Structure 1
């Protein structure tokens, strides 16, 4: 898992190095998600990387009834991960990434429930891991790692430490990392 998470950190580093124009102008999450996906794709050769991908072969990614997880469509059935690293035609789903802007005022729980559902080993399309990354102009303000349908606390701490070591952590007004 750490190998894949290091690749995500490398992609986020490249994102921050290349996309200051978008960050300074406070563009929307969909734009930022697409640009991050470009850098994720460079890190995961041999895998397909897609945004808002809701299929596995011909099947639509749908949550089981009563899962309690949030969905993204008006019927409350389909789920659209922001970025996925996968193989499109076979059930080999490696990584789901949810990206949020730190200025997003919608409940964080929506993305957290989505990653828990996407990594739930009881669903037929489960991803091996999920990463939540909250970005702002001055860096990553929050992150979590999901595996097995829940937050992986040890991996989340490790990932946050790597974000900090990489100089990607957002800073408070006093210059201290968040």
Structure 2
């Protein structure tokens, strides 16, 4: 079994004023919330965005676990569409004491490098800051955080920093190297 060192960086914003929005990309790009919890759609987004960068932790989740997770108050999925086609997503999850984590964020490989990612991250971070407005009973957001790692795309860290996220923790751990699953076996070149 082959292992590789994986560096994980945790970044945060501690005020809505920290957000530095990206310009909206040209063309027909829109962002909409998936308001109906759908395990099928969420798993499609997860596998399509993370397949080539080895997102594997949720691939084994059964339908019931997806449904339970997506049904939690405050968990939101915001999807970027280009001309009606899903291009990427951001998933928000409230935690304790007014903290919101951007749990997943990314683009389907065919949509990377076109300015959609900065716009989607800006939009997702703004929605993390105003999450309590859509979910009565949740505390107001005091902090938004996320993590990225050395397996993510080469522009991920720079995008987070350009949006106003600052580094607060770094960890290096050995991880078992797994084949990139893609949205289906063999979808991406190895």
TM-score by length of 2: 0.33
- Larger relative contact order (Cα-Cα within 8 Å, sequence gap ≥ 6): 2
Give the TM-score normalised by the residue count of structure 1: 0.34
